[in-house]
Amino acid sequence: MADLTLLEAIRQALDEEMARDDSILLIGNDVGPRGGVFQATHGLRRKYGPERVIDAPLAEAGMVGVGIGAALYGQRPVVEIQFADFIHPAFNQIVNEAARMHYRSNGAWNVPLVIRAPYGGGIGGGLYYSQSVEAFFARVPGLKVVLPSNPYDAKGLLKAAIRDPNPVLFLEPKQGYRSLQGKVPKDDYTVPIGKAKITRLGERVSLLAYGMMHALALEAAESLAEEGISVEVIDLRTLYPVDQETILASVKKTNRALILYEDNLTGGYGAEIAALIAEHGFASLDAPVRRLAAPDVPAMPYSAALEDAFMPDIEIVKETLRELVAY
Amino acid sequence: MPLNKTTLLDMYWHMLLARRLDERAWQLHKDGEINYHISGIGHEALQVAAAFAIRRGEGGYASDWVAPYYRDLALMLALGYPPQDYLLGLFARAADPSSGGRQMPNHWSFKPANVISVSPVAASQIPHAVGIALAIKNKREDKIVLATSGEGATSQGEWYEAVNWAAVKRLPVVFLVENNQYALSTPQEGQMAVARAADKANGLGLPGVSVDGNDLNAVYDAVSSAAERARKGRGPSLVEAVTYRITPHSSDDDDRAYRGKQEVEAQKKRDPLLHTRIFLETEDVLTSAKQTEFETKARELIEAAVEFARSAPDPDPETLTASLYAEEGADG
């Protein structure tokens, strides 16, 4: 087992899968000789050639649409959207086309397509290189939305996504491309889509997070342990379809829940989890379900001072957890 | 290469069948038996010509691929889509092979003829055609893709993105623009500043030709040349076939709000079915006996299909959530 960064784990997954299955194509802007703006596809063009590592014209809807067509023909394309902020032009292709193809053809056609997109802030990306887009997609029947928080899961989930016969939106916390590190086996393995993971056992409150916020959640939980507050941390990993069982079992045990996410508060992914807990776990609750997210302003201003003000920080996470436990 | 008599008669048969089916659908809607109809009347010649200009699995060749749109009834019939399947779609029955009653009528999917499933969002299917062509080129297979749309769809960003991509990568696609001069109520001059949709090809770096869409031979020749060019690896082409939408946009449209009766009546004189019939009679290809035989055969086929679809079961409500996701092991 080697220590890899999140980015290296993603690249390794792409490389191993491309070696395993020659129907896998990479499509995106600057994914060829440039290796992707974050270097996720570094070296793959030289290894697999221009027919399999394809620099696309600058058109996101076209990229996803062409990916869908290739998938209908039996290829397994992985489309890279350079920044999640640029996925919006492709909304029609993802939601109306990829996600509905199997249902609308009554099972005749399926779309084995992965759409990778770096998301999230904290990198000085301003309004158009920082967005979290999961809430727009994590409610679309026919689509799966996956969001890893660490290198091990990233490799295993990306392999699972590539092998999945359905369209999968794979969102990568770009702030952690280099800072998130961990042991990654050289062996072939997958991490199942649709399963959350309890990453820290606790008793008093369930803290649910994903992606970059998961690292913050763990940090807050460790810090509160010193104050004698036992926090259970759950990494959701797959946002859609969501692992209800793991979430509800944890809340049944702790009787309290906080959902932490980096997106805007209103209509964000945490709203669905809060509703889920209220609907199916109400009897076990000793406190209101809380959401902790970014304010309802466009994500996120360029100025470092404003960006810091936008992102949830550890102090507010800890304070909210204390309030919940004291409720 | 001029079309031989047998082929011409076969083409005319598919045009006639499409027209009679389409008319029957209007009647079924008028009678309250179906909820919606979107018509292809006026498009028959160009669609049948395009279908015959590509490979449809004949002569030992693998079938080409097709990304159609909702006006393509005659195209679908010429690709082997059975009238009975069309009726099952009109009635939204469980056995509708396009979608099991999930999609509105004319939203085709016909895997046996490599026709992909389509939505009504204009030009959404055009990037799919390009993706299929990309895979075909990668695999060095002897196939091409026919992608059809109306002229309105050529205003869409996705249309430009896809056509540009095909031109840049020299992919084997024929983009057939079925210009019926109206996108619902918007006439062509409200849609584009160029005189012909084919002119758009100039700006994108691929050949574009505009032909009379009511002239079976002209469309056949244009699509055949474009298909041959694509097959030889010389890249995509745009073929515009100009016709006229004789009917309202759909059963929910009232075209009196935006065009005069005189205009429609004048255009009916250019009706492709009539035009083709006169041509075939002049060439001694079509006799009145043959015409009667075709009419009878079409009527019998259609009425049998109506009877079948009328009494076919609706989808089971239990299947509402079925086939949302493909299972592991599904082929792509």
CB contact under 8 A, B326 and A166: yes
Residues 6+ apart with CB under 8 A from B175: B126, B129, B147, B149, B163, B166, B236, B237, B238, B239
Chain B, residues 156-185, CB within 8 A of chain A, namely: 157-158, 161-162, 164-165, 168
Q: What confidence score (pLDDT) does residue B286 get?
A: 97
Number of A–B residue contacts, CB under 8 Å:
157
% of chain B surpassing 90 pLDDT: 96
Q: Taking CA atoms, what residue in A is nearest to B320?
A: A103
**Phi, psi (degrees; rounded to nearest 5) at A205:** -155, 145
User: CA nearest B16: which of B275, B305, B307, B284?
Assistant: B275
Q: How confident is the model at residue B332 (pLDDT cuts 50, 70, 90)?
A: very low
Tell me whether residues A65 and B128 touch, CB distance under 8 A. Answer: yes
Mean pLDDT of B163-191: 97
As a whole number, mean pLDDT of residues B47-65 equals: 92
pTM of the prediction? 0.97
Q: How high is the ipTM of this complex? A: 0.97
Is the model's pLDDT at B251 over the cut of 70?
A: yes
**Chain B touched by A58 (CB under 8 Å):** no
Any CB–CB contact under 8 A between B119 and chain A? yes
The predicted structure's pLDDT at residue B1? 63
**Residue in B with minimal Cα distance to A94:** B124
Q: Quick one: closest CA in B to A51, which residue?
A: B138
**How far does the CA of residue A112 sit from the closest CA of chain B (Å)?**
6
Q: Which of B232, B238, B236, B227 is nearest to B170 (CA)?
A: B236
Say what percent of chain A tops pLDDT 90.
99
Please tell me if residue B138 touches chain A, with a CB cutoff of 8 Å: yes
pLDDT tens per residue across span A170-221 = 999 999 999 999 999 998 999 999 999 999 999 999 999 999 999 999 999 9
In sequence order, which ranges of B69-196 are alpha helices (DSSP H)?
73-78, 83-90, 125-138, 157-168
A51 CB near a chain B CB, below 8 Å?
yes
What pLDDT score does B331 carry?
52
Residues in A closer than 8 angstroms to B322, CB to CB, are 107
- Most B CBs within 10 Å: which of A102, A104, A168, as the mutation test of the B interface? A104
Q: Is the pLDDT of residue B329 over 70?
A: no
Test mutation, A27, A92, A102, A103, chain B, max B CBs within 10 A: A103
pLDDT at B58: 82
Pick from B127, B328, B331: CB nearest A69: B127
Chain segment B263-284, per-residue pLDDT in tens: 999 999 999 999 999 999 999 9
Average predicted confidence (pLDDT) for chain B = 96
Region B46-63: mean pLDDT is 91
Question: Which residues 77-96 of B have a C-beta within 8 angstroms of A?
Answer: 96
Residues in A closer than 8 angstroms to B96, CB to CB, are 106
B78 or B58: which leads in pLDDT: B78
Q: Cβ of A192 under 8 Å from any chain B Cβ?
A: no
Smallest Cβ–Cβ distance between A104 and the set B102, B161, B332 belongs to B102
Report the candidate in A119, A120, A125 with the shortest Cα–Cα distance to residue A303.
A125
pLDDT of B330 reads 59
Taking 3-state DSSP, the helix, strand and coil percentages for chain B, each rounded to the nearest 5, stand at 50, 10, 40
Q: How far is CA B228 from CA A152, B128, B173, in A?
A: 50, 21, 10
Sort strands B145-150 and B173-179 into parallel, antiparallel or unpaired. parallel
User: By C-alpha distance, which of A61, A324, A80, A39 is closest to A208?
Assistant: A324
Q: What is the pLDDT of residues A248-296, one digit of tens each?
A: 999 999 999 999 999 999 999 999 999 999 999 999 999 999 999 999 9
**Chain centroid offset of residue A127 CA:** 19
pLDDT digits (tens, 9 = 90+) for B197-209: 999 999 999 999 9
Nearest to B223 by CA among B209, B206, B243: B209
The total of other beta-carbon atoms located within 10 Å of residue B52's CB is: 22
Q: Is B323 on the interface with A (CB under 8 A)?
A: yes
User: By CA distance, what is B331's nearest residue in A?
Assistant: A74
Interval A25-80: pLDDT, tens: 999 999 999 999 999 999 999 999 999 999 999 999 999 999 999 999 999 999 99
In chain B, count H helices and then E strands. 11, 7
Token duo for residue A227 = 């104050």
Instruction: Judge whether A194 is closer than 8 Å to chain B, CB to CB.
Output: no
A residues 79-98 near B, CB within 8 Å?
89, 92-93, 96-97
Q: Read off the pLDDT of residues B120-151 as tens digits, 9 standing for 90 and up.
A: 999 999 999 999 999 999 999 999 999 999 99
Interface of B with A in 6-25 (CB under 8 A): none
pLDDT averaged over chain A?
A: 97
> How large is the average pLDDT for residues B9-17?
98
Sign of CA dihedral A14, A20, A26, A31: positive
Q: Taking CB atoms and an 8 Å limit, are B109 and A109 in contact across chains? A: yes
The residue in chain B having the minimum alpha-carbon distance to the alpha carbon of residue A90 is B158
Q: How far is B46 from chain A (nearest CA, A)?
A: 25
For residue A275, what pLDDT is reported?
98
Chain A residues close to B132, C-beta within 8 Å? 69-70, 72-73
